[in-house]
């Protein structure tokens, strides 16, 4: 495997900015480097020069490129205690307070693990028709993969264990079929989900969301981009809307009470602060 140097990475970022007007400057360096190196292995690209040429000349390659750069969730029902909290506390209280549908947004889906987990939770509780879900992805390839329902079989063992800890009412295997080592999830779960390709600068975000599920995505940005994305997420939330981030992601300024207040500290759940 070729190890990319910092000069190579800067050149790749510059090229993407020039050709596609996408700016990866403020992505976290180490993980971005790893994603690029992994992509090169997967596409048989042996050196940085070849990657640069492909980026300049093979324009349709950019969509799968965006798909490969994004990091999928590790498994379904990651952090079962969060999913239990959603089922037992968040939704009952949100449903009691709202007459209309609860608008939910998942900004950066890659494998759809979070989306399918949410859909299973809502189906089992009979709430699927009480919400409207928008799932976005940075690539069309990502949207296609989620719609198709395919999923890596090796992630199912941990997912099954998580589902048990979530106290789901069935077996997780009730929601997928295996075919030649590839799993296909039951796509009817996501029939009502609206899909939308999101620009990486978030400028076409859906608005007025009651709940945003954005876990373990901020870790792939540096603090500058984290701040910017958090501001855009804040804007796209409805009054006192809820944002869920990854367990070890921290919202700067939350303790000083700027934009968000803590709703559930151990599960990293925040509420949009009302303007003073």
Nearest to 112 by CA among 167, 178, 185, 171: 185
User: CB-wise, 79 or 259, nearer to another protein?
Assistant: 79
Other CB atoms within 10 Å distance of the CB of residue 62: 16
Q: Give the range of 48-56, 130-138, 233-241, 244-252 binding another protein by CB under 8 A.
A: 244-252
> In the structure encoding, which two tokens stand for residue 24, read together?
């990866």
DSSP H or E run through 275: none
Sheet arrangement for strand 150-152: 150-152, 182-185, 176-179
Q: Concatenate the DSSP letters of all residues of 103-132 into one string.
A: EEEETT-SS-HHHHHHHHHHHHHT-GGGEE
Q: Are 62 and 69 in contact (CB under 8 A)?
A: no
Rounded Cα distance, 207 and 271, in Å? 16
Which tokens belong to 103?
A: 């608008």
CB 222 within 8 A of CB 27: yes
Here the tokens at position 241 are: 């809307």
Residue span binding another protein (CB under 8 A) among the ranges 23-31, 44-52, 92-100, 197-205? 23-31
Binding mask 44-73 for another protein (x = CB under 8 A): ---------------------------x-x
**Which of residues 34 and 240 has its CB atom nearest to another protein in the complex?**
34
- We find the least distance from the C-beta atom of residue 246 to another protein, in angstroms, to be 8
Residue with Cβ nearer another protein (94 or 244): 244
How many amino acids of this chain bind another protein (CB under 8 A)? 28
Non-local CB neighbours of 143 within 8 Å, separated by 6+ positions: 109, 135, 137, 195, 197
Nearer to another protein, 19 or 28 (CB): 28
* Cβ at position 208, least distance to another protein in Å: 28
Site for another protein in 129-168 (CB under 8 A): 158, 161-162, 165
Question: Applying CB under 8 A, which part among 45-53, 75-83, 88-96, 122-130 lies near another protein?
Answer: 75-83
* Structure tokens given for 178: 């295996």
Q: Does 257 bind another protein (CB under 8 A)?
A: no
Compute the least distance from the CB of residue 23 to another protein, in Å.
Answer: 19
Q: How far is the CB of 222 from another protein (least distance, A)?
A: 7
Least distance from another protein to the Cβ atom of residue 210, Å: 25
Q: How far is it, in rounded angstroms, from Cα 251 to Cα 212? A: 14
Query: Under the criterion CB under 8 A, does residue 80 sit at the interface with another protein?
Result: yes
Q: Which is nearer to another protein, 135 or 218 (CB)?
A: 218
The residue within the footprint of another protein, chosen from 65, 163, 195, 220 (CB under 8 A), is: 220
By CB under 8 A, residue 254 contacts another protein:
no
Q: Are 184 and 176 in contact (CB under 8 A)?
A: yes
Q: By CB under 8 A, name the binding residues for another protein.
A: 28-31, 34-35, 71, 73-74, 78-80, 158, 161-162, 165, 216, 218-220, 222-223, 226, 246-250
């Amino acid at each position: 495997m070729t190890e990319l140097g910092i000069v190579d990475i800067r050149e790749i970022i510059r090229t993407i900015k020039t050709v596609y007007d996408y700016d990866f400057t403020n992505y976290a360096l180490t993980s971005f480097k790893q994603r690029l190196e992994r992509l090169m292995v997967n596409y048989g690209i042996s050196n940085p020069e070849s990657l640069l040429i492909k980026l300049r000349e093979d324009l349709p390659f950019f969509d799968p490129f965006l798909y490969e750069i994004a990091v999928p969730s590790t498994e379904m029902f990651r952090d079962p205690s969060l999913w239990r909290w959603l089922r037992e506390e968040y939704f009952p209280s949100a449903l009691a307070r709202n007459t209309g549908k609860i608008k939910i947004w998942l900004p950066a889906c890659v494998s759809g693990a979070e989306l399918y987990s949410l859909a299973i939770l809502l189906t089992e509780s009979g709430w699927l028709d009480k919400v409207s879900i928008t799932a976005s992805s940075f690539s069309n390839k990502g949207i296609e993969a989620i719609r198709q329902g395919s999923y890596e079989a090796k992630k199912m063992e941990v997912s099954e264990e998580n589902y048990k800890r979530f106290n789901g009412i069935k077996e997780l295997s009730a929601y997928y079929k295996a075919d030649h080592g590839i799993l296909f999830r039951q796509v009817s779960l996501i029939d009502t989900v609206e899909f939308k390709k999101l620009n990486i600068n978030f400028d076409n975000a859906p608005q007025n969301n009651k709940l945003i599920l954005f876990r373990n995505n901020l870790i792939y940005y540096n603090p500058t981009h984290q701040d910017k994305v958090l501001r855009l997420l804040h804007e796209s939330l409805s009054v006192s809307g809820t944002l869920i981030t990854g367990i070890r992601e921290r919202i700067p300024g939350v303790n000083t009470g700027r934009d968000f207040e803590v709703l559930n500290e151990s599960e990293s759940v925040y509420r949009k602060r009302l303007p003073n």
